[in-house]
Structure 1
């Protein structure tokens, strides 16, 4: 008897999701400390909708584009930082690479390009950090989405750091 395709296999191995007609939730990963909060918020949204995550790894312009794909070492390093946060949610993911444009263009140029990438993947929601690289912070993405009719952008602020309190003797 063959297994039905509608029943997913549940095991501990994370597998990239297939990019079909699903509408994934996009998470903008900029290789900063805020990435964990962004990935976790996006994973919760994706789990509620039962869709995969679109993990967009932002790479600096000085990194060679020819050697960078979703399976390259720099992209895997960015994704490895957030996998412990999204792993327990058991959602699939689609890795994608976004290259920052060279030079200091307009503030919205990079935001429009990133939102176009999310739109090509049919992502109706993009989760980004409040503070980020030039043009890829949540306020710039929100402004670019409002001007261009792009996806809805969710701003995430990481939890503030609190020092551990030691017990006084």
Structure 2
């Protein structure tokens, strides 16, 4: 197998990483405005370690589970929002889709399943936003990780709101 980051690349575009024995940093993308901050924080954590990002796109249960290969249209839409921000960091990435469970499970059920997905990819760190879909906010993920004895969950605060300023007369 070719080493993941053996030689620096001349073009700074992000690339699809190979899943092997690397321990990527996971970023939970929930199709909200906080995704940009989550992806940037995960990229800053992955860059000094020289590991790829595990970009977990959370999809509603009614989105079809079958698509056109590993990069379905809903996944490409979520990735298209964050790639311009993490592209300058030049880390590789592993795209993954997590479908929210249908029905009403326990509060920690979805968080446990998401952490199990990250564990299958050997991700020791998970970055999530404070707010998110039910059961996938950072605090629920932290609680599920402490019950499982697994990954470290890092919380990202939403971007500060700045009012629009109109030109003064």
TM-score (norm 2): 0.92
Q: Kindly tell me the number of residue pairs found equivalent between the two proteins.
A: 165
Query: Hey, what does 1:35 align to over in structure 2?
Result: 35
Partners of 1:117 and 1:47 lie apart in 2 by 22
Query: Hey, what does 2:73 align to over in structure 1?
Result: 73
Q: Retained in 2: the 8 A contact 1:68–1:75?
A: no
Runs of 4+ residues over 6 Å off in structure 1 = none
Q: Retained in 2: the 8 A contact 1:69–1:97?
A: no
Partners of 1:79 and 1:59 lie apart in 2 by 12
Task: Quote the RMSD (CA, aligned, Å).
Answer: 1.4
Partners of 2:23 and 2:120 lie apart in 1 by 10
Counterparts in 2 of 1:77-92, with a 5 A limit? Answer: 77-92=77-92
Q: Retained in 2: the 8 A contact 1:70–1:76?
A: no
Partners of 1:69 and 1:114 lie apart in 2 by 21
Query: Hey, what does 1:133 align to over in structure 2?
Result: 133
Query: Hey, what does 2:52 align to over in structure 1?
Result: 52
C-alpha change, 1:9 and 1:106, in structure 2 (3 Å) is same
C-alpha change, 1:69 and 1:143, in structure 2 (3 Å) is farther
Q: State yes or no: 1:96 paired with 2:96.
A: yes
Unaligned runs of 5+ in 2: none
Unaligned runs of 5+ in 1: none
TM-score (norm 1): 0.92
